[in-house]
Structure 1
Amino acid sequence: MSVRTSHRGRLLLALTTALTGVVAVASPAVADPGGTPVPAAPLAAAFDTAAARYDVPRDLLVALGYAESRLDMHASAPSAAGGYGLMHLANNPGVRTLDEAAALTRLSPGALRTAPAANVLGAAAVLRSYADQAGLSATARDDVNGWYAALARYGGAHDPSVARLYADTVYDLLRVGFTSARGETVVGRPVAPRRGGLERAAVLGGVGTLSTDYGPAAWAPASTSNYTVASRPGSHPVNRIVIHMTQGAYAGAISWFQNPAAKASAHYTFRSSDGAVTQSVREKDIAWHAGNWTYNTESIGIEHEGYVDNAAWFTDAMYRASAALTRSLATKYGIPKDRAHIIGHREVPGATHTDPGPNWNWTYYLQLVNGITGIGSGTVNTESANLNVRSGPGASYPVVGSVADGATAAIYCQAVGSAVTGPYGTTAIWNRIGTNRYVSDAYLLTGYDGYIPNVPRC
């Protein structure tokens, strides 16, 4: 039996749950095998409610939130660009989606900043208003491919290349699919976004302008209000590399550096998903990244997409791509490849920031910088069942998935954990086969008894 809720009832539900941050059942309950009604998960219900209230494709909303925050509220702390919550409702001189959401939903800015359901509702309201202003009809709203312009506008970038990068990121997630740590799943599907005028915009990292300092990097210059023109290393030695986290999404960080009000920039920014890199300030110039003028003048600043409190952003692809740049910079400028010269933002004298935070693996990163860059492989052998994948190097860590018997696994690094006995004996070695995904070496045939040569230690 299902219960039909009136339009007014749904609106009251949305408003009530948004203000409290606790979402009641907003979609029909699902029965478990015993017949007991199981309510929708709070976050799932929040997306159900917002999508229905504002007639926005539900999966588009989820993908937008995943691109911005991995669906994490981050304790309601603002991003570097002044964005709040899992949908990154922003309040900065260039983007006012928080204020727009407050006007459209009549919810308080405080609720929109701190309550997950309100945050999702606000983002849906803003997207719908942009779609209406773009002339998207009721019929066209059913097609996710028609929301490209509204999505690009939501990102707030003024540079067409960055606006396209922002919207393409969301559509790429829709195409590939994903499952968040909160259990929200979007199944991949074919997409053909209608980009309109942005179809002609250069693609960062594709056919767009490339960096003249570092070959793999795209070039998207920061506002001249956000860095100092110089002639380094002639005017200043370059003797450090400073590691940062963006406290926001990749495209958002690049766009923020282009906002004259930011008064901040970095030389390079890396993307979490695939290690793509964009340069915003030439190496000869002084980026405003360290919060200490002496350190600014003598260092290169490298940003990494993500938040310090969420390890899901710290991918092997990003580590390896960033380490390749750091290795290149260290060679170019004669910087020792050690922790005294490759430092975190939090280590800068007078720093008020904590990045890159406790989730950044300095051991792994410095090994990559120093050329220990091998990726091993192993064949799973359980003699029948699937092999559990755990979130850390030990049998006490939660199971986060499985791999089939006979499957081949790429090994990015190896760590010491709890001892396990399997087909290949008893060992305390665990192999990382993905971001926060470990399997015991006792079940992997790697061709080596113990550690694999040239594969880093985690």
Structure 2
Amino acid sequence: MSRSSRRTVVSACIIAASLVVGMTTASAEDKPADRQQVYAAAAQEFGVPQSVLLGVSYLESRWDTNAGAPSTSAGYGPMHLTDAVAATARGSHHGDGLEDPRGDTARPALHPHAGEPDLNAPSLRTAERAAELTGIDQRALRSDPAQNIRGGAALLAEYQRDLGIRSSNPADWYGAVARYSGATDTATAKSFADEVFATIKQGAARVTDDGQSVRLAAQPSATPNTGQLNELGLRQTNQAETECPRGLGCEWIPAPYEQFDNTYGNHDLANRPQSQKINYIVIHDTEETYDNTIRLVQDPTYVSWNYTLRSADGHVAQHVKAKDVAWHAGNWYVNAKAIGLEHEGFGADGSWYTEALYRSSAKLVRYLADRNDIPLDRAHILGHDNVPGTVPSTVAGMHWDPGPYWDWAHYFDLLHAPFHGVGTPAAGLVTIRPDYAANKPAFTGCETAGQPCAPHGSGSVILHTEPRDDAPLLVDLGLHPDGSPGTMHISDHSSRVETGQKYAIADRQGDWTAIWYLGQKGWFYNPKRHPTALWSAGLVATPKAGKASIPVYGRAYPEAAAYPSNIPVQAVTPLQYSLPAGQKYSVGLVAGSEYYWATTFDASNHTVVRGETRYVQIQFGHRVMFVNAADVDLRPSMLP
């Protein structure tokens, strides 16, 4: 038998085996096909080194299936085959709701409209090509892990053929791996391929979200032929202006600072950190394709953020220098002291984030935190959903991205700042830390209002008014002013805590732990054998003796006497919550009062107003908030 005939027979056998795998997977009563064998079979069928196939898949999905749900960049399955039409992109959260991204009443509110996303980028349509190469229907490529892996292997093999390279040595597949990233620039393709080969060198092993054990044996000698990168014909990017760590694929795409219609946009010039310390990094998702997001941030009449990160390959574009103030968080006090990162995503509605995105973001945040002396904790690395409303009227309209499916525990592992517990319950605090894969809250409204979301791992933990699962949820007067309890709708975080956040222990009964939350006692299931929180220690704030309750604020603005005559006084308005006597809340930081007056195109008129009032940032609910330092005592969290 000729070599080509033998290869045809082998391929036919493997295809038949794959179809059998798909049939057995379809039955809930049968044991799922061994995922390790599926990778091995696909690698052999298409002539791809198994370590390369495993390494690429790990960087796309960490080998997870995500139950057939799309990623934030319309990618499906372990190989992240993209199908933007099936994923049905949604409009931008910057155009939804009532939030003014600038968050400053000194200027008219901005409620920009994003327009329709562009779904035609090749990086959003790879499932289509995989279907042509394999003859497998796109629906099967999206939903069947075995066929998805075959589709990814077929794409890698085609990319290798296009380079004209015949080799079974993983080191000779660097160019194909770089192309698989979907990157259009050399720096990002290199960053992606370098991460894949670093994974191959180090090895990896984990249990996937559907219970499959997969292992990539370490190959320390796998030194790739990086010269192949030059054969891809990718564009070179302008990295000279960027504030990014070395080795991360970044480019400078500036947001415009322009005058128009007697006003200006889309950010403010400043001189941070000399003018104001940068305390926060805010994590957003875009609710847009990457390409459309880039078009939006280049519109002077739109809003801005400092960086955009692309999902499929982790590419980074910087738009606003760290010294300047972007308009992104919906709270001017936070904006003036924050750097905003937008991550490509179509909504926190059951979609997932790629490993490439997590890794690029973590590298960038580590770099920015180090440069600006920002602690790597959840009091300083905020989700947009943790930023407070400025005054009572803005609370309900604040955005809630990146949502309950952002994996904060994995993200902080990549930041080299994992969440650790200390001691016993007597330490007085808990750090929320459920098992992301196993923790699947019963959210509703991902696709249709009132309908259950598909089960999905989450970093969110639900709070109840009593220590039982069927007890009502807590009340958030900002979201439900009528006093009705919170709901399980995907965007309703009335009674929801998030991984990494710290709260003061209020009570314990059996497997249930209570914390102080929005002035209430909130209970969550926290069994000893499988805890959803870690015992922790730190500082807590509690009302001073003699105060029945104290006000809570959404911004740390100065007292009226601090303002010069040419700058209007900004009201220090309490939110609709209060902090009762006897309750304790975890302290994130203690800060002076500041207001950045910036309402003119001429930055020489901009002024930082500083007052005598000092504030304490606390983890009051799902969002951080502020209390006047004169109203509270700060104490160690240890319980008596």
TM range (shorter): 0.5 to 0.7
Q: CA deviation at 1:414?
A: 9.1
Whole-angstrom distance in 2 between the partners of 1:456 and 1:188: 43
Cα displacement (A) at 1:19: 7.5
Distance in 2 (CA, whole Å) between partners of 1:200 and 1:135 is 10
Give 1:85 deviation, angstroms: 1.9
Q: 1:72 aligns with which of 59, 64, 87?
A: 64
Give the Å deviation of 1:261. 8.3
**Are the aligned partners of 2:284 and 2:342 in contact in 1 as well (CA < 8 Å)?**
yes
Of the candidates 3, 14, 17, which is equivalent to residue 13 of structure 1? 17
Shift of 1:187: 1.8
Aligned to 2:365: 322
After TM superposition, give the deviation of residue 289 of structure 1 in Å. Answer: 7.4
| Structure 1 residues 18 and 197: CA distance shift in structure 2, 3 A | same
Alignment of 1:350-369 (within 5 A): 354-357=401-404
Q: 1:412-431 residue pairs with structure 2 within 5 A?
A: none
| Alpha-carbon distance, 1:117 to partner | 1.0
CA distance, structure 2, for counterparts of residue 353 and residue 377 of structure 1: 27
Task: Note if contact 2:420-2:534 (Cα within 8 Å) is conserved in structure 1.
Answer: no
Name the CA distance, whole Å, in 2 between partners of 1:145 and 1:70: 21
- Per-residue CA deviation, residues 142-192 of structure 1 (Å, 9 max, x unaligned), is 201111111111111121111111111110100111112322111211211
2:180 maps to which residue? Answer: 154
Paired position in structure 2 for 1:221: 251
Which one of the candidate residues 189, 192, 210 is aligned to 1:163?
Answer: 189
State which of 257, 280, 299 in structure 1 corresponds to 2:318. 280
1:56/1:321 Cα in 2 relative to 1: closer, same or farther (>3 Å)? closer
Q: Superposed, which structure 2 residues align to 1:300-379 within 5 Å?
A: 300-303=339-342, 322=365, 325=368, 343-344=384-385, 354-357=401-404
Secondary structure (helix, strand or coil) at the match of 2:384 reads: strand
CA contact (8 A) 1:281 1:287 kept: no
Kindly tell me: are residues 376 and 151 of structure 1, through their superposed partners in 2, closer, same or farther at Cα, counting changes over 3 Å?
Answer: closer
- TM-score normalized with structure 1 length: 0.56
Q: 1:288 to 1:51 in 2, by over 3 A?
A: farther
Kindly tell me the number of residue pairs found equivalent between the two proteins.
Answer: 353
Structure 1 residue 15: Cα displacement? 3.9
Partner AA of 2:191 in structure 1: L
Counterpart of 1:136 in structure 2 is 165
**Could you say if the C-alpha distance between residues 112 and 100 of structure 1 is closer, same or farther in structure 2, counting changes exceeding 3 Å?**
same
- Counterpart of 1:116 (choices 145, 159, 164) is 145
Contact 2:245 2:364 (8 Å CA) reproduced: no
Which letter maps to 2:267? R
In proportion to residue count, which structure has more helix?
1
Residue in 2 that maps onto 1:404? none
Identity value in percent: 25
Q: Which has the higher contact order (CA 8 A, sep 6+)?
A: 2
Q: 1:73 to 1:223 in 2, by over 3 A?
A: farther
Structure 1 residue 316: Cα displacement: 12
**What is the letter of the counterpart of residue 307 of structure 2?**
Y
Take 2:364 and 2:138, find their aligned partners in 1: how far apart are those partners?
38
Q: Does 1:103 align with 2:132?
A: yes
Contact 2:160 2:173 in 1 (8 A): yes
Query: What's the CA shift for 1:127?
Result: 0.7
The one-character-per-residue Cα deviations of 1:41-96 (angstroms, maximum 9, x if unpaired) are 53223212211211111121111111011112223333333322221112441324
Q: What's the offset of the Cα at 1:438?
A: 10
Instruction: Tell whether 2:54 aligns with 1:62.
Output: yes
- 1:184 maps onto 2:227 in alignment: no
In the aligned structure 2, how far is the partner of 1:99 from the partner of 1:150? 18
Encode CA deviations 1:347-395: one digit per residue, 9 max, x unaligned: 8977887414265669x99xx9xxxx999999xxxxxxxxxxxx859xx
Question: 2:383 & 2:228 partners in 1: Cα distance?
Answer: 42
Structure possessing the higher radius of gyration over alpha carbons: 2
SS at match of 1:75: helix
**The residue matched to 2:251 in structure 1 has which SS?**
coil
Contact 1:179 1:186 in 2 (8 A): yes
Structure 2 unaligned blocks of 5 or more: 1-8, 84-119, 233-237, 259-265, 271-275, 298-304, 390-395, 423-432, 440-499, 511-529, 541-585, 589-618, 620-640
Report the Cα distance in structure 2 between the residues aligned to 1:69 and 1:344, rounded to whole angstroms.
24
Shift of the 155–278 alpha-carbon distance from structure 1 to 2, 3 Å rule, reads closer
TM-score by length of 2: 0.42
Q: Which amino acid aligns with 1:191?
A: A
